[in-house]
Amino acid sequence: MKLIYKLLKLLLNQRAVKEDNETLNIILNRKSCRRFSKKKVSKEILEKILLAGASTPSTVNLQTWSFFPFDYDEWYQKFGNPIPFGAQAAIIVCADLKRLEVIDPVFKKFPYCFYTLAVMNASLSAMNMTLAIEGFGLKSIMLSQTGRTGFMDYEYIKEKLSLPSLVFPLTTIAFGFPENELLFSPPKLDKEVIIHRDGKYTLREEETIAWLKDMDFACNLAEGEKITEKFKNYLKMLPKAEEELANAFKKISD
Ligand SMILES: Cc1cc2nc3c(=O)[nH]c(=O)nc-3n(C[C@H](O)[C@H](O)[C@H](O)COP(=O)(O)O)c2cc1C
């Protein structure tokens, strides 16, 4: 009985939302895609997606980001393997403090603030591009570790793209046409867990544990691996990534 209830809940979670607001529909129905068709993404669309990234709001309009676009062949030439999940296009998004050296090197005295600022702005640009991708009827996935595509492989990407210090690769947006329109969406936390309506923080442990159990069930069903196991594997990658990032971070104040 419990199993049927869990399955039903998961299935209901996959329903498409239809609101009167098209932007909201795009946001609410977005799902990460892990299987793409071989259909190419045109250069025109890629340029418009990059324009969406460049139009993102940023702290003092500093635009602390840099984008590296690739089509399938360009990626293959650069990295010697296909874009993960068979995607036909990709954009590597970096947090970029290098340009600030030209404007005012004072930022080097405040590495925590400026690193956070750069990561925040660049992450917003990644989301703007993700939504633009959805607007074209394409699908995407942001990557930070799969296929050495994000900040977890800082040194590797830095070397491949010949990045100067102060430029931090964060994530790769891999995108294209989906192989199948039916995408799987993992359960989200109940929104009351993350919204603190009375202006006072409340940790909702019970609901958080309930979500973890739902995630375990969903991941096990979809990928044959529980979230708790996934997380353990993720943790194994962290010591190297932490060290690489710490070294890069130190260079801000050098
Ligand atoms: C910054 C970032 C990095 C991610 N890195 C990976 C990754 O390396 N591999 C992967 O399979 N999914 C990755 N994801 C996708 C998440 O697993 C996915 O967003 C999450 O499970 C929620 O699913 P949804 O995007 O369908 O809502 C990443 C997502 C973000 C935002």
Q: What CATH number is attached to the domain comprising 122?
A: 3.40.109.10
Q: What is the pTM assigned to this prediction?
A: 0.96
Residue nearest to atom 5 of ligand 1 (CA): 143
The minimum-distance atom of ligand 1 relative to the CA of 85 is: 11
Mutate which of 29, 32, 237 to test ligand 1's pocket (most atoms within 8 Å of Cβ)? 32
The minimum-distance atom of ligand 1 relative to the CA of 186 is: 23
Q: Is residue 224 part of a domain?
A: no
**Window from 109-113, 229-233, 237-241 with minimum mean pLDDT:** 229-233
Alpha carbons 78 and 149: distance in angstroms, whole number = 12
Mean of the pLDDT values across residues 42-71?
98
The CB of 146 under 6 Å from ligand 1? The reply is yes
Q: What is the pLDDT of residue 11?
A: 82
3-state secondary structure (DSSP) of residue 210: helix
Mean of the pLDDT values across residues 115-134?
98
- Which percentage of the chain shows pLDDT scores above 70? 100
Q: Is residue 207 part of a domain?
A: no
Q: What is the pLDDT of residue 1?
A: 62
Q: What is the pLDDT of residue 181?
A: 85
Closest CA to 132 of 74, 101, 173: 173
- 91 within 8 A of 53, measured Cβ to Cβ: yes
**Window from 85-89, 107-111, 183-187 with minimum mean pLDDT:** 183-187
| Residue 196: pLDDT over 80 | yes
Q: Is residue 154 part of a domain?
A: yes
Q: Is residue 117 part of a domain?
A: yes
Alpha carbons 161 and 78: distance in angstroms, whole number = 8
Q: How confident is the model at residue 2 (pLDDT cuts 50, 70, 90)?
A: confident
Q: Is residue 201 part of a domain?
A: no
Q: How confident is the model at residue 142 (pLDDT cuts 50, 70, 90)?
A: very high
Burial of 220 from C-beta contacts in 10 A (0-12 / 13-18 / 19+):
middle
Alpha carbons 154 and 148: distance in angstroms, whole number = 9
Domain that holds residue 71: 31-182
Ligand 1 mean position to 144 CA, how many Å?
8
Q: How confident is the model at residue 60 (pLDDT cuts 50, 70, 90)?
A: very high
Residue nearest to atom 11 of ligand 1 (CA): 146
CB atoms within 10 A of CB 237: 13
Q: What is the pLDDT of residue 80?
A: 98
Q: What is the pLDDT of residue 222?
A: 85
Alpha carbons 137 and 128: distance in angstroms, whole number = 15
Alpha carbons 44 and 21: distance in angstroms, whole number = 26
In 117-166, the DSSP E strands lie at 139-143
The CB of 141 under 6 Å from ligand 1? The reply is yes
Task: Please provide residue 214's backbone torsions phi and psi, each rounded to the nearest 5 degrees.
Answer: -65, -40
Of residues 82 and 9, more confidence is placed in 82
Alpha carbons 230 and 252: distance in angstroms, whole number = 33
Q: Is residue 41 part of a domain?
A: yes
Total domain count, the chain: 1
Q: What residues contact residue 87 under an 8 Å CB cut-off, 6+ apart?
A: 36, 72, 140, 141, 174, 175, 176
Q: Is residue 223 part of a domain?
A: no
